[in-house]
Structure 1
Amino acid sequence: MKRFVFSLFCSVILFGINVFPVTAEGISLNGTWTLDFWEQKRTPVVSPEQMQGIEYETIQASVPGNVELDLLSAGLVADPEIGSNVYLLRPFEGYQWRYSRSFVSPEYSRDDEVFLCFGGIDCYAEIYLNGSHIGSSANMLIEHEYDVTDALLPPGGENRLEVYIRSSVMEGRKNIPPVISFNFAQVESVYSRRAPHTYGWDIMPRLVSAGLWRDVTLDVRTPVHIVDAHWYTVAADAERKTASLYLDYTVTLPVKYQDGMMTAEFTVSRDGVDKVRSTQTITSHSARVIFNLKDVDLWWPRGYGDPALYDARVRILDVNGNEIDSDSRKIGLRTVSLDMTGTNSEEAPGRFCFIVNGEKIYVHGSNWTPMDAFHSRDAAHLEKAFAIARDLNCNMLRCWGGNVYEDHAFFDLCDANGIMVWQDFAMGCTLYPQDPDFQKAIAQEVRSVAVKLRSHPSLVLWAGNNENDQTLTLGTLRPFRMDPNDDIVSRVTIPSVLYEVDPTRPYLPSSPYWSEELVSTSYSTDNIPEDHLWGPRGYYKDPFYTEAKCIFVSEIGYHGMPNRESLEKMFPPESVYPWSDVKSRTWNEDWLTKSVRIFKEWGYTPDRNNLMINQVRLLFGEVPTDLDDFIFASQSVQAEAMKFFIEKFRGHKFEPNTGMLWWNIRDGWPLISDAIVDWYNSPKMAYWFIRNAQTDVCALMNDAVDGSYPLVVVNDTRKAADGNVTVTDVNSGEVVFKGEYHVPANGKTVVASIPERDGQGIFKISYTGMDGSPQENHYLYGKAPYDLNEYRRLLKKTRMFNVK
C-alpha cells in the first residue's frame, strides 16, 4: 500500500542522528538498537519509571532480531546450534528485555496521522514513546500498529522509543490451564499467543525467545487513505473464460470529505492490457464494486494450468485528479471449494477433495514447517526453502499450526508458482482455553491474519488448528474422551470471524477433523476422511499404512539421517561418532538433544533415534555400525518409504484418494528428523525419490494385486497425455514391459499388469512425459529384509541417483 512518506527533516544531519530509509511501507526503524536485560522479578518492569534501582546489562541488538542472537553476537552465550548448547539458553526464559533507540520525527502536516508499526513483537510488551505509553502487545503472531501522532515530537525533533518485553514463560504460568491433554510443549504455552513450537516440539528445540522479530516502521498517512482493498472471485467459468470479481474497499473519510470531493479509480490489467478501468465517487468509507469480466485467464494450481495473475489497483483522487493514496497488488481469478463429508465408510464412501474453478484437484505436496527457531531469520531461508517445493513439483503446501504465519513474500511466491496453501491457525495438539478473554484474543488474531492474507489466490483453506480434535479423541485422556465439537474456539470463534471477513474460502475446524457424525458413530480413524498417518512408525508396508482407509493424508513421514557433512557441523567433533556407548548401548547426549529432547532434565530419551534403528533393521535385517553405511541405510529407508506412500495414493487417484501432504520440506534447526532437506539445505536421498514421484504425468508401479504389479500412469493436468513407457529389471537387464500409454485429462490409466516376481530386485521405469522429455522412476520389488550392499549395487546400477 502506497503512503505519503517524506524525506527526513534536513536538520537530521546537523544533529548527527541516524537517518532511516524511507520505503513503500514507511520509514524503517530497523537496524541497531540498545538492548537492556535483567532477571524478571515477581513484579515485572512495565514502564520507564520502574527502571529506577534495576540492575541490568546492556548490549547492542539487531532489529529485526531475537535476543539470543544478540547475546551470541556479544559473546555471552555459546552457539546454540551446536551439540547441546541450546539448553544454556533456558535461564534467559525468565528475563526481561528493553529495546530502545532514538529517531528524528519526519516531516508531516497537522492533519496527517503517524503510526508506529511492528511486524512482530515477541511477545508480552509495553511500548513507550517519549515517556508516553502508546500501547501493549500480547501476541507474537500478528502485526501491531499504534497511533503515535500525539506522542511524536514536531518534525526534526529527536524521539525516544522503548519496548519493554516480559517473560512469556512467567506470563503463561499465571494461568491455570484447561484439562491437561497431550502436548509436546509445556502447559504454559496454551494461554500465550506465540508459535507453539517455541516451547518445544518433536521437530524443534525449546526456544522461548523474545524480540522484535519483523520490521519496525513509522508510517505517515494523509487524512484520507486506503485502509483495505479486498479483491475476491465469486464465480469463474474456465470454458467461457469469464469471472465475477468483487472488490470491497475501505478508506478513512473525515466528515469534511464526505460531499463527493474524492474519487476512487479501479484498474485490473495483465501484460499492459486493461480488463477493468472505472471510477466511482466516494460517498462512504466502505463500498463494494462488482466487475463481470470476459476473456480472462484464470488462476490454476501447478500442473492444471497457468497461475495467471492480474495487476489490481485502487487509487484515491482529489477533485483535481491528484492521487491521494493507492493500493496495488497481484490477484488471481479463481474459485475454490472443499468437497468433504464428515465420515467415510464402505457403506457410505466419504469425500475430501479440493475443487478449483470447477476442476477436481489431486494434491501432491508437503508440510511447510518453521524455517528457523529464531524467526527473525525466516526471510533469509525463504528463497532456498521455496525452491525445494517448486523443484519437487508440490502443488500444495500446508502451513502447519505449530508455526508462525508466513508473510506476504511466501504467499507471493505461491501465487506466482501455482502452489496452493492450506493455512492452519497457530494452535496444536492440546485443549486450548475456552474463556471469553482467550476467545477475544483468537478472534483478534484470526481477523488480523485473514484480512492481511485473504487476497492471495494461492490461499485455498483455513484450518482451525493442528490435531486438537485428535488430541481430545485419541490422546492421553483415554479412555475418557472429550467431544471436540464442543470446542468453542474452533467451532464458533474462528468461523464467526471468517464468516465476516473471508466467506468465500473453505474452513476446516481441525486437521484431522472429527465431525459430530464421526464422534457420534465410531470414534474410529477408520471412518475419518482426512488423517495424519503416523502410528507406530514401523515397517512402511505394515497394515497401518497399506490398509489405511482415509481419502486424504495431510501428514505422513519417515525418519532419515542427515548427511555426514551436516552431522559434522551440528555436533562437536567428539560427538559425531560413535553415536552410542558400545558397552552401555546408550545414545550420547548430543544425539539425544538432536533427536529432539526438549528438556535435558528428561534424561535418557532414545525413542526417536531408536526409530531409525528399528526402521533400518526392518528393511535391511541388520543395523550397520559404520557411520557412513548407517547414514546410507537410514536415508534409503526414508526414501523408499516416502516414495511408497506417495505412489500408493497416486496409484488410486480419485478411487478414492485425492491427495497427500508429506512431512516435511526442510528442518528449521540442526536436527535428526523426518525432513527431506536438513538445516544446512543438504538434501537426503528422499529428495530425489520424491522428485521422480511427483511429476505432473508420472509412471509408477504399485504393490502386486492378485499376483501382478499394476503399472500406472497418472495425469495431473487438464490435457490428455500420451507417451511411451519401458520397464526393465535392473539386475538382469530384461525388458519386462514396453508399450505406449494414453491417459485422459486429470485421469489415471493402468497401462499393464506385470507378473509378480520371486526374489528381490529393482524395476527401472523409463517413460516420456507430457512434453516428450525422458522421465525415470523405479520400483523396489520383493519382501524385506534386503541385503544392504545388494540394494546399493542395484540402485547404483539404475544410474538414476548419485550412489557412492
Structure 2
Amino acid sequence: MKTIALDNLWNLAFTHPRSSVHCIIPATVPGNVELDLIRDGYISDPYPADNVKAMDEWARVNDWTYVTEFPEPMTASGEKILLILEGIDTIADVFLNGEKILRCENMFITHQTDITHLLTARNTLRIVIYSAELFARQFPQSAFQVSRDHRHAEAYIRKAAHMWGWDNAPRLLSAGIWRPVYLKIVKPVHFTDVYIYTRQASAQQAQLGINWQFCTPDENLGDYNGKLSVSFQNNEILRQEFSINFTSGKIRNITIDTPHLWWPHGYGDANLYDITISITRNNETLAEWKTRFGIREIKLMRTPVMNKEQGNFIFLCNGEKIYCRGTNWKPLDALHSRTAEKNRRALELCTDLNCNMIRVWGGGIYEDHDFFNFCDEQGLLVWQDFMFACCLYPQDNHFQNAVSLEAEYIIKKLRNHCSLALWCGDNETDQLFAWGIWPGETVPSDNVISRRVLKNMAAMHDPYRPFLESSPYINDDTVRQCRKQPDVKKKPILDSQMPEQHLYDENNYHQRLMNSNARFVSETGQGKLISESDSIIAREKNRIMDLWNRTAPADDNTRELAERYQMDNHGINDGRIMKNLVRTYFTETITPDNFADFRLAVNAAAGDGYKFAVEYHRARKWDKTGLLWWSLIEMFPQAANKALVDYCFQKKMPYFWIKQAQQTCVIVGLLDEKKRNVHLYAVNDSLREFTACLQVSLYEVNSFTPYKKIIIQFSKNSSRYTGIKLSGRKHALFLFEWEIDNIKYFNHCITGFPPYDFNRYKEWCAVLDRIYRRKKK
C-alpha cells in the first residue's frame, strides 16, 4: 500500500461574515479555519477571556471552501486509488473535477471513496464545509431530548460536544480539514478488515482468534492460501497456514504456550507480539497485514447497584484484580488539528504521573492510533467513552443510523489495541436523569442510543471487551428513588447505591468522598488549580479579579455572566470557589492582589483535595478499586481549571504531589474514623512482594528530624497497615522515605485540620518542591 499526502498548496475561500466580501487565503491542511484567519489577520484571538460568543459570527459562515490540485499518480495494473479524508469538521460536500463524490456529516470518522476512474492528468479537489450551527436548525426537537445552556445544536451534529462551550473549553464552533487528506493506492488483492482477540489468557497458555476479510477481483479462490506468523522480540514462535474458501473467515484456537502476557503499568511488562497474516497464490504474496498485539484478557466485574455496601466495579487483567489510578483525558487543544503534535508529550506526563489508566472523556474526540500505540507500549489502560456527553440525544431512526455507522467505524479502527479496556456509552447522561433534568417518567433504560445502539454495536464488532452503558451508570430504580426527593437528599441516595461515581463537592469535598459507597471513582477533583505560566496569567488575571470581587448570589445573572466570560455556567462560581477554599484553609486573608501567594494558596488547598482523594482510595483497596481524577491538561489558556498541567505544559504544584501519591508502591496516610490519628499504609499495586526500610521524618526548624524507622512489607497487590500512626490533630509535615531495588521513593503527609498558618504552609510547600522536583521518582 502506498499513500500520497495532499497537504501542500491549499487555498481557503469564504464569505466574510460582516462585509460579505468573498475572500481567498492560503490554507494549512490539516488545520482549522481559525489558524488561517489568525495568520492572515482576520481575527486575533479565537477565545478571548471576556466574550464567550466572540467567534459566533464566524460559526455562521456557510461556505468554507478548500481547494487544491494534484497530478494523477502512477499505478500498476489492477490497482485502485482511494481518496482518504481522515477528519472533516463537519458538514461538507467533496468535489473532484467538478463532480460531487462525497457527503460528510461526522467529524469523528474517516470518509473515503474510489476515485480511480475519475482522475485526469491534473485534478482539482474542492471541499465545501457548511455551518454546523445553521445545519442543525433543520432537525425537529422531541420532548425527550434535552441539551444545556447555549449548546442546543450539539445534539444533532456529530461534532465534539465541547465545541459549543464547556467549563473546560471555549465556545469555538470551528471548521476545517482537521486530520490528514491523502491518496491511497491499493493492490487488487488487499485486506479490508482484521480483528485479533484474546479468548483466554493465563501464564500457562493463551488462546487467540483472528477474523479476516479481504477484497479480490478473482472469482476462483482455489489457489489461494493463508499464512499466519507470530513473533516475539524478533523470534518467530508460531507459523501456520489456513485455508481460504471465501473472502472472509476466522482462524480459531491459535495457541500460544507460556505466553508473555501484556500487563497494565506496575503489574508487569507491556509485552507485545508481532503478528502477520498474508494471502498467497502459488507462493506469491498477494496481500499482507501486520500489527503489534498484546495478549491479555480484560474483564469488568460490576453490579448495577450497591446494596448495603455489597456491590462491585473492578477490572481484571489476566485473572488478576487491577487497581486503576489515573486521569481523565480531554482534547489537548480546542483546535483539534493541533492535538496530534501534542499527544506524545501529554502521554509522557501520564507515565511520569504513574498512571495505569486514562479515561477518554465523551465530550471530546476519539484519539488516533499514535495515542493507542503509546498506551499499548507503556501499559496504560484506556477507558474509551463514545462521544456523547451531558445531553439526551435524538432517538429517531436517522440519528440511530448515524450513530451505528460511527460506532462501527470507531470500534473496528481501535479494537486491536490491547490497551483499550472498556467501551462506555456516554458521559453523565444517566446521571442527569437522576437530577430530574428530563421531565416525565423517563428513565435511563429509555435511552435507545446507549442501551441499544451502542451496546449492540460493541457486542457485534468487539465481543471480547466489556461495555458500560454510561459513566456513571445508574439503574432505573435508583432514578425513581431520586425523583421522589428534593435535591438535598439526592446525593445520599446516589452515594449509597452507585458502584461507580463522578464525585465533586465544592463545600465539603473530603466528607463527600468518605460518604460514598462507590467502589470506583471515574471523575473527581476539588476547587480550581491556577496556571504557572506568565503568559496565561497576563491574559486571564482581570477575569479572575472580576470573579473574585463578585458579590452577587451564585445563581444570579447566570446567563449574562456565562456570555460575558469564556465559560459556561459552571465557571461563573470560580471566584467564590477559590475564595471559600483559601478562607477555609488558611488563617490569613489572601487575595489575588499578591498573586504569587494567592496562586500558592489556591493550589495548595485544591491540591490537598486531589491528594486526599488518591490516597484515601488507595489505602482502602479493595473496598475501593480505582480513581481517575479530572484532569490532566487544559485545552486552551485558562488561569484556573481542574487540570494538573496548564495549556503551555507548565506543571502546577499539585502535579508533583499526585505523582508521589500514585507511585506503584507508596506509603500513604489515612485519618481514622474518630479523626484523631493518621494511620500509615503500605500500598502495592504490583504482583511482587517487597520489603523496605521506612524512614518517617518530621519537619522542624528548617530541617527534617527522624521520627520513626521501621522495616515494612509491601504485600502483593494490597494495602497493608504498617503499625505506624501519627497525631491527626497537630499541624505538622511528615516525610516518608523508603527504598526498593536501590531506588529511593518519597511521599508526605500534612497532619491537622484547617485553617493552617499560611507562612508555615508556604515553607512546607517550598521544602516539598525541592525534594520532588529533583527526584526522578
Partner-residue secondary structure (3-state), 1:644: helix
Residue of 288, 303, 312 corresponding to 1:341: 303
State the distance in 2 between where 1:113 and 1:61 align.
28
* 1:426 partner letter: M
Residue of 530, 542, 550 corresponding to 1:562: 530
Shift, 1:334, TM fit: 0.5
* 1:31 partner letter: N
In the alignment, structure 2 segments of 5+ residues that lack a partner are 484-492
- Equivalences for 1:598-617 in 2 at 5 Å? 606-617=572-583
Verify: 1:61 aligned to 2:27, yes or no.
yes
Q: Which residue of 2 aligns with 1:497?
A: 457
State the distance in 2 between where 1:602 and 1:411 align.
31
Shift, 1:305, TM fit: 0.4
State the distance in 1 between where 2:499 and 2:168 align.
26
Q: Which residue of 1 aligns with 2:401?
A: 440
Verify: 1:752 aligned to 2:723, yes or no.
yes
Verify: 1:129 aligned to 2:93, yes or no.
no
Asked whether the 8 Å contact 1:577–1:627 carries over to 2, the reply is no
Q: Which residue of 1 aligns with 2:489?
A: none
Q: Which residue of 2 aligns with 1:34?
A: 11
Asked whether the 8 Å contact 2:147–2:155 carries over to 1, the reply is no
- Equivalences for 1:363-374 in 2 at 5 Å? 363-374=324-335
Asked whether the 8 Å contact 1:202–1:596 carries over to 2, the reply is no
- Equivalences for 1:286-325 in 2 at 5 Å? 286-290=248-252, 291-319=254-282, 321-325=283-287
State the distance in 2 between where 1:465 and 1:598 align.
30
Q: Which residue of 2 aligns with 1:21?
A: none
Post-superposition Cα deviations, 1:114-156, rounded to whole Å, max 9, x if no partner, equal: 2110110111111111111111000001111112123222xxx
Partner-residue secondary structure (3-state), 2:169: coil
Verify: 1:677 aligned to 2:654, yes or no.
no
Verify: 1:693 aligned to 2:661, yes or no.
yes
Q: Which residue of 2 aligns with 1:449?
A: 410
State the distance in 2 between where 1:175 and 1:86 align.
25
Shift, 1:761, TM fit: 1.5
Residue of 267, 271, 290 corresponding to 1:328: 290
Verify: 1:508 aligned to 2:472, yes or no.
no
Residue of 214, 234, 238 corresponding to 2:199: 234
CA spacing shift, 1:433–1:134, aligned 2, 3 Å: same
Q: Which residue of 1 aligns with 2:125?
A: 161
Q: Which residue of 1 aligns with 2:336?
A: 375
Shift, 1:578, TM fit: 8.1
Residue of 547, 554, 557 corresponding to 2:515: 547
Residue of 356, 359, 362 corresponding to 1:398: 359
* 2:723 partner letter: A
Post-superposition Cα deviations, 1:752-794, rounded to whole Å, max 9, x if no partner, equal: 241535431122112223x242111111111111111111123
State the distance in 2 between where 1:30 and 1:539 align.
52
Residue of 681, 692, 699 corresponding to 1:730: 699
Asked whether the 8 Å contact 1:83–1:571 carries over to 2, the reply is no
Partner-residue secondary structure (3-state), 1:639: helix
- Equivalences for 1:104-115 in 2 at 5 Å? 104-109=71-76, 111-115=78-82
Q: Which residue of 1 aligns with 2:611?
A: 643
Shift, 1:109, TM fit: 4.4
* 1:632 partner letter: L
Q: TM-score, normalised by structure 1?
A: 0.88
* Number of corresponding residues: 748
- Equivalences for 1:193-208 in 2 at 5 Å? 193-208=158-173
State the distance in 2 between where 1:598 and 1:268 align.
59
Shift, 1:390, TM fit: 0.7
RMSD in angstroms over aligned alpha carbons?
A: 2.6
Verify: 1:711 aligned to 2:686, yes or no.
no
CA spacing shift, 1:570–1:457, aligned 2, 3 Å: same
Verify: 1:742 aligned to 2:699, yes or no.
no
* 2:157 partner letter: S
CA spacing shift, 1:90–1:701, aligned 2, 3 Å: same
State the distance in 1 between where 2:729 and 2:296 align.
50
Asked whether the 8 Å contact 2:64–2:128 carries over to 1, the reply is yes
State the distance in 2 between where 1:775 and 1:603 align.
42
Q: Which residue of 2 aligns with 1:780?
A: 750
Post-superposition Cα deviations, 1:557-604, rounded to whole Å, max 9, x if no partner, equal: 12344345x24346449x5598249987799xxxx99x9868679899
Post-superposition Cα deviations, 1:516-557, rounded to whole Å, max 9, x if no partner, equal: 45446667312000000013x12432x222212211000001
Verify: 1:253 aligned to 2:253, yes or no.
no
Asked whether the 8 Å contact 2:49–2:565 carries over to 1, the reply is no
State the distance in 1 between where 2:298 and 2:569 align.
48
* 1:715 partner letter: N
CA spacing shift, 1:122–1:570, aligned 2, 3 Å: farther
Verify: 1:466 aligned to 2:427, yes or no.
yes
State the distance in 1 between where 2:149 and 2:689 align.
46
* 1:105 partner letter: E
Residue of 750, 757, 762 corresponding to 2:733: 762
After TM superposition, the structure 1 stretch with the greater mean CA deviation from structure 2, 366-375 or 746-755, is 746-755
Q: Which residue of 1 aligns with 2:487?
A: none
Shift, 1:744, TM fit: 2.1
State the distance in 2 between where 1:359 and 1:597 align.
49
Verify: 1:528 aligned to 2:498, yes or no.
yes
Residue of 138, 160, 169 corresponding to 1:174: 138
Post-superposition Cα deviations, 1:359-397, rounded to whole Å, max 9, x if no partner, equal: 000001000111110100111111211111010010000
Partner-residue secondary structure (3-state), 2:166: coil
* 1:80 partner letter: P
Q: How many percent identity over aligned positions?
A: 31
Partner-residue secondary structure (3-state), 1:106: coil
After TM superposition, the structure 1 stretch with the greater mean CA deviation from structure 2, 486-495 or 595-604, is 595-604
Asked whether the 8 Å contact 2:81–2:184 carries over to 1, the reply is yes
